[in-house]
Chain A
Amino acid sequence: MRSTDRRAAVLWLNAVAGLGSAKINKLTAEIPPEELYACPEKYFGKAKELIGEAAAKLRFGKSDPKPVEDIMRTLEASGADYIVRGDAEYPASLENIFNPPAIIYYKGDVSLLKSRCLGVVGTREPSMYGRQCTEKFVSALVKLKLTIVSGLARGVDAVAHRTALMNDGKTVAVVATGIDVVFPASNAVLCDDISRNGLVVTEYAPGTPALAYNFPERNRIISGLSAGVLVTEAGLKSGSLITADCAVKQGKELFIIPSAVNSPRGAGGNRLLKSLQGAMVLSPDDVAEALGVCAAPDEPASAMQLDFTEERILDALSFSEVSFDDLLSITGLGVSDLNALLVRMELNGLIRKLENNYYGV
């Protein structure tokens, strides 16, 4: 049920009056939003009781409904829309967390909010190891039809989104700015890709710039949407530790990939691991098992006809990452033939080229 009045009212509270989810939730728990919208003066006293001085914001624009329609039109023009609590599209997963978002602006396929989601977060400056782990886990898990939820930040977030899209998986970006703002700007293309092939959501009104205090608050939505949160690499002060914290508080599964004990980039994740003990995961299967999703029965890769040499390469790579020079001696091929073969295998998604002329699966 999509009540137009109710939707307009919540939009008005958020985008015109400038109230956040916490205050909107408090108000709407006591006062039906439609009535509040229609006649703010009547409820002013009560509102003051509920949300204190911020109630003054309700006076703003009370008699003029035009701004709300303006905002609706702008949203529509930019291909965005919004849902509020109580709408059919609003996911149950968010209803159950502390302080559910009162309104969700979105671009893309909103039904993804109700799909089975996994949050993937981590440092903005991943090491090579962190990047590889992110790629490895995400590419394996999207094949099990998990939707990857992350925060569109630089680093692990961007890698997670991109890897999901590259593997034809679904991904949701929960951003901490207005739906019409992209932060960081370097991810503009990625954001555009996600909005076309996945979903971008936010609880902040259009035009909201990147504000430091919104980012940690946004993290509760990432964990809230997800059945579990995977921390691929996190430093001691990483914001992804906040997401991990939210996940624990919301009773979600938490998965942490261990890092080398001497790596400052993974120190935060390792500390968390130490305090949680059981959360350590070593392969994508660990995560799949904990979440109760099983491997798809027929992998497209196995349907492909592999010749003897390709089998040998895959065999060798299944144990560890192997350098180009070692592959030369394993396969007995010439440099140019091996080069050509590896490129074709990579394009077919069988292997991956790593740094320093190494290859892996």
Chain B
Amino acid sequence: MLASIKSYALDGLNGYPVDIEVDTQKGVASFEIVGLPSTAVKEARNRVRAAIRNSYFDFTPKRTTVNLAPADMKKEGSAFDFPIAVGFLAGTEQISAERLNEFVMLGELSLDGSLRRISGVMPILISALQKGYKKFIIPEGNAAEASYIRGIEVYAPRNLADACAFLGGLKEIAPVKHRLYSSVAAVNKYDVDLKYVKGQTLAKRALEIAVSGGHNLLMCGTAGAGKTLLAKCIPTIMPDMTFEEAIETTKIHSVAGILDPEEGMVTVRPFRSPHHTASLMSLIGGGSKSVCGEVSLAHNGVLFLDEMPEYNKKTLETLRQPIEDGVVTVTRVARSIEYPARFMLVASMNPCPCGNYGSRDKNKQCTCTYAERKRYAGKISGPLLDRIDLYVTVDGVEYDELRSAPAGESSADVKARVERARAIQRERFSEEKIHVNAEMNNRLIEKYCKLDVASEKLLEQAFRRYSLSARSVTRILKVARTVADIDGRENITVNDLAEAIRFKTREPGNEID
């Protein structure tokens, strides 16, 4: 007999419906899965057989054909185990087929019949909802991420037997309770705070500006000066994620299978710090399965590259496009997938290979040769450096300062200012399809970054003195706009501009003669 079950599969971040047809006939015993299944899908037959038997159903060998339609899309993953098993049971008339077509079913089966957590549930539910599907059966482990989506009815049984009892009307299962995003978002879950960072006033100021306007930041300093700690504080001063942002990021994390099963939602801004041995694919995304990379996992958050010159040069250069566009398009022969990647780039580096160039400590003098320093600095290309809006030197802290300095401003205080600056930007760009100053194009710079006479003069002076490029000037204007926004000024003043110039110019030691 023939049974048909609705399921869903993912192509990038978008889902598409899959009809699972299970046909059981008398004949030579076999279990074939057709419709471009990957290895994981083909292996479903073994899990389905064991799960059915261990749930005390009958698995008398029959001639069974499972078709996954549409047949021209490659099916990945183990989410079809559950619908295939249900299809087999309906086909062999062990359960009633009446209510089967009400539901979209997803889930991996364990050999003992329980339903295991799968990846990608959030994006599947969202795209299925858009197509008009309202009722779902998913594994219990995925209940949390489903709970935030309004307008759907989700059932999350523990195992195959419960699911079948529910489908047959023998047992009631309560639908997953809807949770409000605001109930989880407001809680501060960070274990770092800016008030624990001693000294570093300049670096903190640079962080505040960078976060307020979404600008990219490069911190340069000796080993142990506190670059990484400062970077880790960035999420604590970033504005709370809106529900839309949280959903965007959760979708990506769900597909990547790194979502917290309890939380079910990414509620804090991601802070991704891939190791410097990271490959190009792991950073950008791609591979035969076109998976998403670190830049996408950092969407709406921070991508932190510690020891930037240690990364593979080619890998770094590929960052240029996502930095500009905020999206990565992974193209393979069969398909092309777009992953969002709007992140703030924060990088750190030592001043030279030995890490002591420019140090004030008499016992820590640089021993690098000119050629070594030049090679080190040359690992980061000019175009990439040009895309960085703020440079700041993180100097080592003195012992006295470390032990006795009063606690500085807390992250919450800084965050309040950042939220205010962001609110101004939201209002300004409400008609422009962008969110922050860093995303302004030339037309918008012309419109919103007007300078008075004194500022024009200062900019010209700086242009000559520091040999700035045209791109640097536009970056300076954007940062100046942000500095003005932090203080809630409508027009950019000379001081705002001067501060932007200060953070765009590098230290004397970094210029190589």
Interface residues of A (CB under 8 A from B): 124-125, 127-128, 131, 154-155, 158-159, 162, 166, 263, 323-325, 328, 335-337, 339-344, 347, 352-358
Contact = CB atoms under 8 A, between A and B. Distances in A.
A356 B220 CA distance: 9
Contacts of A339: 202, 205, 498-499, 502-503
A343 B498 contact: yes
B507 A355 contact: yes
Given A324-B202, A353-B508, A336 B495 contact: yes
Given A124-B370, A125-B370, A355-B508, A340 B201 contact: no
Interface stretch (B88-96, B163-171, B358-366): B358-366
B194 to A, nearest CB: 13
B232 to A, nearest CB: 21
Given A127-B365, A328-B201, A340-B499, A356 B483 contact: no
Contacts of B499: 336, 339-340, 343
Contacts of B205: 335-336, 339
B458 interface: yes
A124 B369 CA distance: 10
27 contacts: A125-B370, A127-B365, A128-B358, A128-B366, A131-B509, A154-B370, A162-B513, A263-B365, A324-B201, A324-B202, A325-B201, A335-B202, A335-B204, A336-B483, A339-B205, A339-B498, A339-B502, A339-B503, A341-B495, A343-B462, A343-B498, A343-B502, A347-B461, A354-B507, A355-B358, A355-B507, A355-B508
B503 to A, nearest CB: 8
Summarize A's interface: helix, strand, loop or mixed.
helix
A352 to B, nearest CB: 8
Most chain A beta-carbon contacts within 10 A, residue among B202, B204, B357, B497? B202
Contacts of A356: 358-360, 393, 395, 507
Nearest to B493: A340
Contacts of B433: none
A267 to B, nearest CB: 13
A158 B498 contact: no
A125 B498 contact: no
A249 to B, nearest CB: 29
B465 interface: yes
Contacts of A357: 202, 393, 395
Interface of B: 199, 201-202, 204-205, 351, 357-360, 365-366, 369-370, 393, 395, 401, 458, 461-462, 465, 483, 486-487, 494-499, 501-503, 505, 507-509, 513
A357 B507 CA distance: 8
Nearest to A342: B502
Given A356-B359, A356-B393, A347 B458 contact: yes
A131 B395 contact: no
Contacts of A263: 365
In this complex, the member of B357, B483, B499 whose beta carbon has the largest number of chain A beta carbons within 10 angstroms is: B499
B370 A323 contact: no
B498 A354 contact: no
A342 B499 CA distance: 9
Contacts of B351: 355
Given A125-B370, A339-B499, 16 more contacts: A127-B365, A155-B370, A159-B513, A324-B201, A336-B499, A339-B202, A339-B205, A342-B502, A343-B498, A344-B494, A347-B458, A355-B357, A355-B508, A356-B507, A357-B202, A358-B360
A340 B358 contact: no
A344 B498 contact: yes
Question: Which of A154, A263, A323, A355 counts the most B-chain CB atoms under 10 A from its CB?
Answer: A355
A131 B370 contact: no
Most chain A CB inside 10 Å of its own CB: which residue of B360, B401, B487: B360
Nearest to B351: A355
Nearest to B405: A325
A-B complex: 3 closest residue pairs judged by Cβ atoms: A355-B358, A340-B495, A340-B498
A155 B373 CA distance: 13
B418 to A, nearest CB: 14
Nearest to A337: B495
Nearest to A355: B358
Contacts of A344: 458, 494, 498
A347 B509 contact: no
A18 B73 CA distance: 77
Contacts of A358: 360
A127 B356 CA distance: 11
B31 to A, nearest CB: 70
Contacts of A354: 507-508
Nearest to A347: B461
Residue with the greatest number of chain B CB neighbours at <10 A, chosen from A127, A323, A356: A356
Contacts of B360: 356, 358
A341 B359 CA distance: 25
Given A127-B366, A154-B370, A343-B501, A353 B507 contact: yes
Contacts of A337: 495
Nearest to A135: B508
A355 B365 CA distance: 13
A343 B369 CA distance: 31
Query: Which of A154, A328, A339, A354 has the largest number of chain B CB atoms within 10 A?
Result: A339
B184 to A, nearest CB: 34
B494 A340 contact: yes
B365 A347 contact: no
B495 A155 contact: no
Contacts of B465: 166, 347
A186 to B, nearest CB: 8
Contacts of B513: 131, 154-155, 158-159, 162
Interface centre among B359, B498, B509 (most CB of A within 10 A): B498
Nearest to B209: A336
Contacts of B461: 347
A131 B370 CA distance: 13
Contact of B462 (A128, A325, A347): A347
A340 B393 CA distance: 17
B201 A335 contact: yes
A340 B497 CA distance: 8
B247 to A, nearest CB: 35
Contacts of B359: 356
A328 B358 CA distance: 21
Given A325-B201, A347-B461, A357-B393, A340 B496 contact: yes
